[in-house]
Amino acid sequence: MGPFAHLILLIFSILAPLISSMPAFFPGAAYQSLAKQHKASKPKIPYRAHYFPQILDHFTFQQSSSKIFYQKYLINNRYWQKGGPIFVYTGNEGDIEWFAANTGFLLDIAPKFRALLVFIEHRYYGESMPFGKDSYKSTETLGYLNSQQALADYAVLIRNLKQNLSSETSPVVVFGGSYGGMLAAWFRLKYPHIAIGALASSAPILQFDDITPWSSFYDAVSQDFKEASLNCFEVIRGSWEELLALATQKEGLTELSRTFRTCKDLHSVDAVWAWLWSAFVYTAMVNYPFEANFMMPLPAYPVKQMCKIVDEFPPGASKISRVFAAASLYYNYSRSSKCFQLEHGPDAHGLHGWGWQACTEMVMPMTCSERSMFPTSTYDYKEFADRCLKTYGIMPRPHWITTEFGGKVRFLLHFHLSSYASLVEVLSCVQRIDQVLKRSSGNIIFSNGMQDPWSRGSVLKNISSSIIALVTQKGAHHVDFRAATKDDPDWLIEQRRQEVEIIHKWINEYDADLKQRPKDAES
Amino acid sequence: MGPFAHLILLIFSILAPLISSMPAFFPGAAYQSLAKQHKASKPKIPYRAHYFPQILDHFTFQQSSSKIFYQKYLINNRYWQKGGPIFVYTGNEGDIEWFAANTGFLLDIAPKFRALLVFIEHRYYGESMPFGKDSYKSTETLGYLNSQQALADYAVLIRNLKQNLSSETSPVVVFGGSYGGMLAAWFRLKYPHIAIGALASSAPILQFDDITPWSSFYDAVSQDFKEASLNCFEVIRGSWEELLALATQKEGLTELSRTFRTCKDLHSVDAVWAWLWSAFVYTAMVNYPFEANFMMPLPAYPVKQMCKIVDEFPPGASKISRVFAAASLYYNYSRSSKCFQLEHGPDAHGLHGWGWQACTEMVMPMTCSERSMFPTSTYDYKEFADRCLKTYGIMPRPHWITTEFGGKVRFLLHFHLSSYASLVEVLSCVQRIDQVLKRSSGNIIFSNGMQDPWSRGSVLKNISSSIIALVTQKGAHHVDFRAATKDDPDWLIEQRRQEVEIIHKWINEYDADLKQRPKDAES
């Protein structure tokens, strides 16, 4: 969920070294327009919105700590039986209604558990803006946007909610997808006294430092296309150069504008690259086995459909025309667009929430290897940090997430002090997170589908008897969280069945502990 | 360790409701003079001081987040063999050298483990002042003084240190006493990827909200005296009224000044109460089986010695003369004082670190019941919060610690919002911390001696096979952390032996995990 926002950084971090004329730091305009589109078509969801007066700064006691903001959360109590479990979705980088609409799984299972459903919006997204319209205005207003503050929000809100409902003993299970899944897993790690377990779907908690090979994300995207069709993979791989070659010709941009049916004439090839790039990456992520409308409306198995389009062109057709047609599946499956907006006005390049998070703590280095269908690229931390400083007035803390949440990494010496000109790479000292989880935590499901490139940065093997990896070969980005459909394949039905079974086990254990209380109580 | 600072609040919170003329909010002057005295007699310790450039605000990315301060830490590498474990003392509310000098246990066991010893000073104490002399100047400068920031300091420093020492795989065990023990236990809970285990000595992690009965602390102090001598207990219990009666008589304060050998004439009886109160509480805490100089130089079994003094007076002697003589054991065992400084000048009542912490997150409600030898008193949250607001310009967050670290509690509805005039007590929703620890953590020793009144707020029963409570009936405030002496009783030798054995077990398990790595590596 909200993978788009993730990608904003990806697109930047990969393209930027290649295309020096990249128009803006974070091409978040695309996210904005996506958000607008979603708003327009906002589905009716069976939740009621509430607003919780939340502490702005949990970890510093200043005058600002008395400042509160109103955090939105959604409630569905239709299936709840008092005393039953509370299922909390730990919201990620976007409008909480969007996540609620795309997490039908919770509505599907609520009756079985007689569960209360709660979706909490992440601070600085949707309506949960601490400084209203000025929330993204400056370094100062953005400062409180980070994962630790968000986790503390969830802790305070859940505690308060249970109290208001007089349901202190109801077990809480947290759910999240993508960044929301990272938050769910981390919440279970840091607040085990509040959540008895977590289902973290497509949560790349290992995408930091060098825990996961930096090229794995784009290798995985490419792998999806290669599996669908080797020719398709080769066409896309060859298209970047063809595009560059055409763009440098006289009238090349005019021709590109025509081919890509742009609403306005193109000024450079960069926007074309970014547009294609997004289409391929998102389609790989949402390579679902059924028609869906998560990022965009798409048919079942959209990667296969894209490659079918590429492959069905007559011999001799240009790579450019093929990749345009393929990308059109992503942008125009509903056939409602007459032209495409590839370049965005300067006003659209404002500051964006995920951009800030990526420039502070969510530093996920990525490269494109020769195995990928994208132009090869390296990761230049100095350049990245430079842009963060320029855009947000802040230096990243690239190793903070692994310090705060764990991971086995190499890292950059004295990152917070050294001028980034003199960074020295040395081996770090943090234990492998799998060993840590094994010895000190439990009750987490990491679910992943291997079609999803984010799966490579997640947990793909069982760590202990209660830290379970559920991996499907054909699954995509938190496909398990979508509402059940009549077209669901068996492997998806089975994955969800296992999830329900494991959550039942957690709740039974919790109930057993609760009953045991009188015996071993009062130390 | 640093229990004095804890008591500053206690003295306040108990005396204040009784004595409305209490001269200052936090009688921290006593702490200051104690600190001075310790500085004068600073022992030579086999550690070398270092200063680490630490991030001021780990959880907010603001311009201030680029601000660093220099955090002091001490190293002893005499017994260290590279690859061996690193023992880290998570410093508490005071000069780190004081804690190093009073934690001889680590020096005693270092050779067996070939361990590196590291004592890290807590921010805002000793030399680790983020704003130099202005650190305690205002709400704004004090804002960053809290336990979460301190824990993050330890995480960042330890990670950096291991890296600088090229000892990434060395297991880290954290140690702490009193508040430092709370930090050690919490560090293991929140940063299991950095510390493989924690020895938390006399750590009252359950002294919050209503997890532990509010009267238990003073009941325990009283119990110590009652066990030593019923007469002694009764004399102390009766002395408060006798003092008040005398103080209201003509020339009563003059007589009191003479009896208590005050350096200056007394202005009220309050200071006498506080002076006696401190003497009894501290003596109970450090009721060690050998001569020691932790808070003050004292003989072995000082409670017994105090009661002996009380009991040996001729029949008919006043209670006042008896309690003065008893308290003199605490203040003047070395017989160096000709007079006593019971009242302090107005300049001494400045802001103090523990006062701030107690007014923000370390809210530990306490009362005196009729079982105690102290005047009965209730806990008035409103009055407490009022004073915090007046003194520090800040409202306490009395339920934040249990939200952040766990605990089963009742709490006050909407504490961070409601005017404290309309507080409603309702049942809270946080799981019992013992159940939580059992299911989600491990490798913590809670060691306690029942002579220590703080033991009542700690963990006194095993929670799981690796969360162990080591309880001695005759032990006092982290007596196990003191250097071994020839006078150590068998129970103390046995307690330390068990601690060493358990720590060995943790390290062996860690080593086994490390060796297993190639087998189950690379998910």
The DSSP bridge partners found for residue A49 are A74
Contact residues, chain A, for B397 at CB < 8 Å: 55, 61
Backbone angles phi, psi at A467, to 5 degrees: -115, 100
pLDDT category at A415 given cuts 50, 70, 90 is very low
In a mutational test of the B interface, the residue from A57, A61, A455 whose CB has the highest number of chain B CBs within 10 Å is A61
Q: Is B380 a catalytic residue?
A: no
pLDDT at A263 over 90: yes
Tokens of B362: 């370390």
Tokens of B410: 């009742």
Task: Indicate the Cα dihedral angle A297, A330, A377, A265, nearest 10°.
Answer: -130
Cβ–Cβ of B513/A438 closer than 8 Å? yes
Of B53, B162, B426, the CB nearest to A429: B162
Of B63, B163, B426, the CB nearest to A429: B163
Q: Give the 3-state secondary structure of residue A51.
A: strand
In a mutational test of the B interface, the residue from A116, A429, A430, A463 whose CB has the highest number of chain B CBs within 10 Å is A429
pLDDT at A361: 94
CB B108 within 8 A of CB B484: yes
Asked if the C-beta of B522 comes within 8 angstroms of chain A's C-beta atoms, the answer is: no
pLDDT at A231 over 90: yes
Contact residues, chain A, for B161 at CB < 8 Å: 429
Choice between A277 and B64, residue whose per-residue pLDDT is larger: A277
The most confident of A330-339, A420-429, B433-442, by mean pLDDT: A330-339
Q: Of the given ranges (A25-39, A94-108, B427-441), which has the lowest mean pLDDT?
A: A25-39
The whole-angstrom separation of Cα A301 and Cα A307 is 10
Cβ–Cβ of A428/B360 closer than 8 Å? no
Q: Of the given ranges (A273-287, A308-322, A340-354, B72-86), which has the lowest mean pLDDT?
A: A340-354
Asked if the C-beta of B433 comes within 8 angstroms of chain A's C-beta atoms, the answer is: yes
Of B144, B155, B168, the CB nearest to A427: B168
How far are the Cα atoms of A74, A397, B347 from residue B261, in angstroms, in the given order? 67, 59, 23
Provide the 10 A C-beta neighbour count for residue A220. 21
Q: Is B452 a catalytic residue?
A: yes
pLDDT category at A296 given cuts 50, 70, 90 is confident
Strand intervals (E) in A160-224? 172-177, 197-201
The whole-angstrom separation of Cα A377 and Cα B400 is 46
pLDDT at A14 over 50: no
Asked if the C-beta of A500 comes within 8 angstroms of chain B's C-beta atoms, the answer is: no
One of A452, A458, A478, A480 is an active-site residue; which one? A452
CB B465 within 8 A of CB A439: no
pLDDT at A43 over 70: no
Cβ–Cβ of B459/A523 closer than 8 Å? yes
Asked if the C-beta of B248 comes within 8 angstroms of chain A's C-beta atoms, the answer is: no
Asked if the C-beta of B27 comes within 8 angstroms of chain A's C-beta atoms, the answer is: no
Q: Give the 3-state secondary structure of residue A20.
A: coil
Per-residue pLDDT of chain B (523 residues; tens, 9 = 90+): 333 334 444 433 333 333 322 222 222 333 334 444 455 456 689 999 999 999 999 999 886 556 999 999 999 999 999 989 999 999 999 999 999 999 999 999 999 999 999 999 999 999 999 999 999 999 999 999 999 999 999 999 999 999 999 998 899 999 999 999 999 999 999 998 899 999 999 999 999 988 899 999 999 999 999 999 999 999 999 999 999 999 999 999 999 999 999 999 999 899 999 999 999 999 999 999 999 988 889 999 999 999 999 999 999 999 999 999 999 999 999 888 899 998 875 444 455 788 899 999 999 999 999 999 999 999 999 999 999 999 999 999 999 999 999 875 333 333 333 333 222 222 333 445 555 555 567 899 999 999 999 999 999 998 888 899 999 999 999 999 999 999 999 999 999 999 999 999 999 999 988 877 544 433 3
CB B23 within 8 A of CB B271: yes
Nearest to B99 by CA among B130, B76, B122: B122
One of B209, B477, B478, B480 is an active-site residue; which one? B477
Distance from CA of A149 to the nearest CA of B (A): 7
Cβ–Cβ of B143/A60 closer than 8 Å? yes
CB A119 within 8 A of CB A91: yes
| Residues shown for chain B | 523
pLDDT at A288: 96
Once rounded to an integer, what is the mean pLDDT over residues A463-482?
A: 94
Asked if the C-beta of A427 comes within 8 angstroms of chain B's C-beta atoms, the answer is: yes
Cβ–Cβ of B513/A149 closer than 8 Å? no
- Residue ranges of the alpha helices (H) in B333-420? 353-360, 381-392, 400-405
Mean pLDDT over the full length of chain A: 85
Asked if the C-beta of A389 comes within 8 angstroms of chain B's C-beta atoms, the answer is: no
One of B219, B224, B434, B452 is an active-site residue; which one? B452
pLDDT category at A295 given cuts 50, 70, 90 is confident
pLDDT at A385 over 70: yes
The whole-angstrom separation of Cα B475 and Cα B452 is 7
pTM: 0.88
β-pairing, A197-201 vs A292-293, is unpaired
Q: Of the given ranges (A193-197, A200-204, B111-115, B409-413), which has the lowest mean pLDDT?
A: B409-413
Give residue-wise pLDDT tens across range A462-472. 888 889 999 99
Of B163, B167, B196, the CB nearest to A413: B163
Asked if the C-beta of A37 comes within 8 angstroms of chain B's C-beta atoms, the answer is: no
pLDDT at A424: 27
Name the residue type at position B61: F
Tokens of A68: 């509160």
SS3 content of chain A, % helix, strand, coil (to 5): 45, 10, 40
β-pairing, B297-298 vs B410-412, is unpaired
Asked if the C-beta of A393 comes within 8 angstroms of chain B's C-beta atoms, the answer is: yes
Q: Is B278 a catalytic residue?
A: no
Reading across the β-sheet that carries B172-177, which strands appear in turn? B48-55, B68-76, B116-120, B86-90, B172-177, B197-201, B444-449, B467-472
Cβ–Cβ of A406/B193 closer than 8 Å? yes
Cβ–Cβ of B160/A438 closer than 8 Å? no
Once rounded to an integer, what is the mean pLDDT over residues A298-316?
A: 97
The DSSP bridge partners found for residue A69 are A54
pLDDT category at A409 given cuts 50, 70, 90 is very low
Quick one: DSSP state of residue B456?
Answer: G
pLDDT at A408: 58
pLDDT at B3: 39
Asked if the C-beta of A350 comes within 8 angstroms of chain B's C-beta atoms, the answer is: no
Of A193, A399, A459, the CB nearest to B436: A193
Residue carrying structure tokens 């072995």: B300
The whole-angstrom separation of Cα A90 and Cα A46 is 18
